[in-house]
Structure 1
Amino acid sequence: MCGPYVAMHGHSGAGGRIAAANLPADYRMLTLKTAPSAATIVRIGSDTMALGSFIGQYAATFTRQFDDGEDGPQRRVKSLYLYSESPGTGKTTTAAALLNEYLTVHYIGSLKRNRQALDRPAYFLDVNEWQTDFNAFNRPRVPEDVAAPAAERYYKAQRIAQSVPFLVMDDVGVREASEAFRADLHAIINARTTDGLPTVYTSNLPMAELMRLYDARLADRVRDMCVEISFQGGSNRGMR
């Protein structure tokens, strides 16, 4: 078992930087080449194309994370907003494959530059699961042994999501949200936009409809330096 594999996956195959990224187990060995969503037809602005032809070009910009210092002024990696009205079209699969690619580029690029790779250069935030934790400690008469762990998970995830170099926010806008939850979500997006940190969002709503569940300020923050990709066609589930 080679050192780079251990650094990425741990000795057990369930640790390392992949585990620190909170990536669900089903996606931990996924790559851009093996993701079935690469053949999915998508719409980007007025253009229609196979997703793989765009994603490869986008992933090539991940080396920009090393543009600072001796490599010149840093150029931003853009954010992506992946959506489709139908489930199972490959949004989360694509986002997970991109997270894995970012981790690989970060680790190999750090070695080449004699730098210490970050323990957590990327993070996967399941927004639906995160909101469930929020509700668990904000309902009346919730037992302390339920509320306390939920609150700890919730605020830890928020701290990580605000500052991690690359973030996937999965299932944004799935559920109605309270003003307090919207404020926490906005805090993450605002912090990342201000610091120029790339985020990949997935949603069943087009970006313009986010304000229906949240507000115009949040939608404007998501839109900043972000490419919107509409997934076409039916479900790809069962193809992986």
Structure 2
Amino acid sequence: MQAGDTPEFGPHSDPDEYKRWQLEQAVRGYVPPRFQAEIPIPEEVRAWAKAGRRAGGLYLTGPVGTGKTHLGFTALAEWCRNTETVPRAARYDTWDTIRFGPTVHTVRATALLDQLRPGVNDARLVVEDCQNARLLFIDDIGAEKPSEWTQEKLYEVIDERYSRCLPLIVTSNLPPRSLAEHVGERSASRLAEMCTLVPLTGPDRRRPS
């Protein structure tokens, strides 16, 4: 069977096999096409994904173009497979009266800070989605220095996940020791304590060789 083919399932099919197939389709549908190719997975990342819902944080750091975002999505996919978590965005019920938050939430740090600015509609929902998702992935944290307001809201997100031991993936060009001046001392301290640090090295893969 080729990748992407739909297997035939009948009344005598293995329900576990069908469930695994559904999960794999959901994971592939969630991960952007750019980051679906298989790449080597460092042992620290593999161990983090196997830890499941008590995995804590994963901090991927390195220069531009070293594959942090790709590895972040790879870690996300492995975690979903190990926990049998179907990635799902926030949604409302049939009558639009009850809102269900996302099971997995992925956001670029710059977009998150924009959503947390004073006066933005539904900023509270943004915080709650980030706090309560089974897995949160913040990409490229430290790329923009937040205001005092957004810095405080970011801390609310990180501290809540820290307190409840909820899994978090963070990518950044900055090493942890340089993060405090960009996100604040408290958020940087929480991340340093809760995260497994995985440094990435090498040339910029985006540049033609």
The correspondence for 1:101, drawn from 75, 78, 81, is 78
Please give the residue correspondences for 1:138-153 in structure 2 after superposition, counting only pairs within 5 Å. Answer: 151-152=121-122
Hey, what does 2:108 align to over in structure 1?
126
- Displacement of 1:190 in angstroms is 0.6
Hey, what does 1:48 align to over in structure 2?
none
Checking the alignment, whether the CA contact within 8 Å between 1:125 and 1:161 is kept in structure 2 is no
Hey, what does 1:145 align to over in structure 2?
none
- Displacement of 1:98 in angstroms is 1.0
Hey, what does 1:26 align to over in structure 2?
34
Checking the alignment, whether the CA contact within 8 Å between 2:142 and 2:172 is kept in structure 1 is yes
Is 1:60 aligned with 2:50? yes
Segments of 5+ residues of structure 1 without an aligned counterpart are 39-50, 66-75, 110-117, 139-149
Task: Give identity over the alignment, percent.
Answer: 21
Segments of 5+ residues of structure 2 without an aligned counterpart are 1-5, 8-17, 87-99
Is 1:160 aligned with 2:168? no
- Displacement of 1:237 in angstroms is 3.5
Report the Cα distance in structure 2 between the residues aligned to 1:199 and 1:108, rounded to whole angstroms.
Answer: 14
Hey, what does 2:149 align to over in structure 1?
180
- Displacement of 1:171 in angstroms is 1.0
Given the two structures, how large is their TM-score scaled by the length of structure 2? 0.72
Q: Secondary structure at the match of 1:89?
A: coil
CA RMSD of the aligned region, Å? 3.0
Given the two structures, how large is their TM-score scaled by the length of structure 1? 0.63
Report the Cα distance in structure 1 between the residues aligned to 2:51 and 2:156, rounded to whole angstroms.
Answer: 26
Is 1:169 aligned with 2:147? no
Letter in 1 for 2:132: S
Checking the alignment, whether the CA contact within 8 Å between 2:69 and 2:139 is kept in structure 1 is yes
Report the Cα distance in structure 2 between the residues aligned to 1:214 and 1:57, rounded to whole angstroms.
Answer: 27
Q: How many residues align?
A: 178
Report the Cα distance in structure 1 between the residues aligned to 2:101 and 2:154, rounded to whole angstroms.
Answer: 24
What is the CA deviation profile of residues 122-142 of structure 1, one whole-angstrom value per residue up to 9, with x for unaligned ones?
A: 22121112223445x75xxxx
More helix by share: 1
What is the CA deviation profile of residues 176-205 of structure 1, one whole-angstrom value per residue up to 9, with x for unaligned ones?
A: 210011011000001000101121111111
Checking the alignment, whether the CA contact within 8 Å between 2:48 and 2:58 is kept in structure 1 is no
Is 1:210 aligned with 2:200? no
